């Protein structure tokens, strides 16, 4: 659906990845996910890896809009998760619901450099695994999704933890553990006011720009300093008298 590429998880990150409202929801580019968690460049550990992620913003956020394909209202409840507040998000999750349909879709934005063929597994608390598949990848992350029936959704609303299990390029199993507290209340609650959402995004964009400017200035300052141990520049040779 066209809403997928709009504002998925972009409530707290203006560099976003799947709706603000209507047609504008489909115009945002994918946001960077942190690939290092699933596929570090250094020699990778042997055996399973577990990452206990933390929310990147305080509340779950429910966003609603019209699906341009069938003119039905589509809502999704989303949140971004990462390893630390000062790092890019590792993944984002959005649970979609379309008016008049019982089926629900759990969509995830996962890091790149994962093995796509095995897909992923979703385990809610200590329940049975739910199989999911990758849908499409971008340079900054991959979308994956799983279908949820009514009973599974009811379980998810009350869940404390959801585990997303994938495999990295070394074929090691990687588990992303997500706290699900307050998801049910947000899913059943009202959608965020589009004006409030836009204000949040504008404020975040300003913060990101300020942070990028500071980092740029710091890099320029470091590049202007001589490298450690480098010889001091030789003094200019005296000019002969005229």
Give me the chain's average pLDDT, please. Answer: 78
Q: What is the pLDDT of residues 47-98, one digit of tens each?
A: 799 999 999 877 899 999 888 778 888 999 999 999 988 788 899 999 999 8
Assigned domain for 77 exists: yes
Q: Return the higher-pLDDT residue of 153 and 209.
A: 153
Assigned domain for 29 exists: yes
Does position 190 have pLDDT exceeding 80, yes or no? yes
Q: Give the CA angle between residues 163, 45, 52 to the nearest 5°.
A: 30
**Would you state the pLDDT for residue 129?**
96
Q: Give the CA angle between residues 132, 96, 194 to the nearest 5°.
A: 145
**Would you state the pLDDT for residue 145?**
96
Separation CA 10–CA 194 (nearest Å): 13
Assigned domain for 201 exists: no
**Would you state the pLDDT for residue 9?**
37
Assigned domain for 229 exists: no
**Would you state the pLDDT for residue 238?**
60
Does position 31 have pLDDT exceeding 80, yes or no? no
Does position 29 have pLDDT exceeding 80, yes or no? no
Per-residue burial over 183-207, b if 16 or more Cβ lie within 10 Å, else e, is bbebbeeebbebeebeebbeebeee
Q: What is the pLDDT of residues 110-157, one digit of tens each?
A: 999 999 999 999 999 999 999 999 999 999 899 999 999 999 999 999
Does position 201 have pLDDT exceeding 80, yes or no? no
Separation CA 12–CA 96 (nearest Å): 18
Position 100 confidence tier, pLDDT thresholds 50, 70, 90: confident
**Would you state the pLDDT for residue 195?**
83
Task: Give me the long-range contacts of 39-44 (CB less than 8 A, separation at least 24).
Answer: 39/111, 39/112, 39/113, 39/114, 39/168, 39/169, 39/170, 44/168, 44/170, 44/172
Its pTM stands at 0.69
Does position 211 have pLDDT exceeding 90, yes or no? no
**Would you state the pLDDT for residue 179?**
96
Assigned domain for 180 exists: yes
Number of domains in the chain: 1
Assigned domain for 155 exists: yes
Read off the CATH number of the domain in which 98 is found. 2.60.40.1880
Q: Give the CA angle between residues 126, 128, 129 to the nearest 5°.
A: 105
Average pLDDT over residues 223-239: 64
115 is in which domain, residue-wise? 2-37+49-194
Q: Return the higher-pLDDT residue of 83 and 198.
A: 83
**Would you state the pLDDT for residue 197?**
77
Assigned domain for 239 exists: no
Separation CA 9–CA 6 (nearest Å): 9
**Would you state the pLDDT for residue 132?**
97
Q: Return the higher-pLDDT residue of 212 and 183.
A: 183
Separation CA 223–CA 153 (nearest Å): 53
Separation CA 232–CA 173 (nearest Å): 51
Tokens of 144: 């994956």
Assigned domain for 119 exists: yes
**Would you state the pLDDT for residue 225?**
75
Does position 7 have pLDDT exceeding 90, yes or no? no
Average pLDDT over residues 169-195: 93
């Amino acid at each position: 659906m066209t809403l997928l590429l709009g504002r998925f998880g972009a409530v707290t990150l203006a560099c976003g990845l799947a709706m603000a409202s209507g047609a504008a929801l489909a115009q945002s580019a994918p946001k960077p996910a942190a690939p290092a968690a699933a596929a570090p460049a250094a020699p990778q550990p042997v055996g399973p890896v577990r990452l206990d992620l933390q929310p990147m913003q305080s509340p779950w956020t429910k966003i609603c809009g019209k699906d341009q394909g069938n003119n039905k209202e589509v809502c999704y409840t989303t949140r971004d998760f990462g390893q630390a507040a000062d790092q890019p998000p590792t993944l984002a999750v959005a649970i979609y619901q379309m008016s008049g349909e019982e089926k629900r879709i759990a969509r995830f934005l996962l890091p790149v450099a994962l093995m796509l063929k095995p897909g992923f597994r979703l385990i809610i608390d200590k329940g049975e695994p739910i199989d999911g598949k990758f849908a499409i990848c971008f340079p900054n992350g991959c979308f994956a999704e799983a279908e949820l029936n009514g009973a599974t959704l009811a379980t998810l609303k009350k869940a404390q933890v959801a585990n997303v299990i994938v495999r990295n390029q070394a074929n090691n199993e990687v588990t992303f553990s997500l706290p699900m507290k307050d998801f049910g209340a947000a899913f059943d609650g009202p959608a965020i006011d589009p004006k409030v959402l836009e204000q949040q995004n504008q404020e975040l964009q300003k913060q990101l720009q300020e942070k990028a400017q500071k980092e740029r200035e710091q890099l320029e300052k470091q590049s202007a300093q001589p490298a450690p141990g480098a010889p001091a520049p030789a003094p200019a040779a005296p000019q002969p008298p005229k």
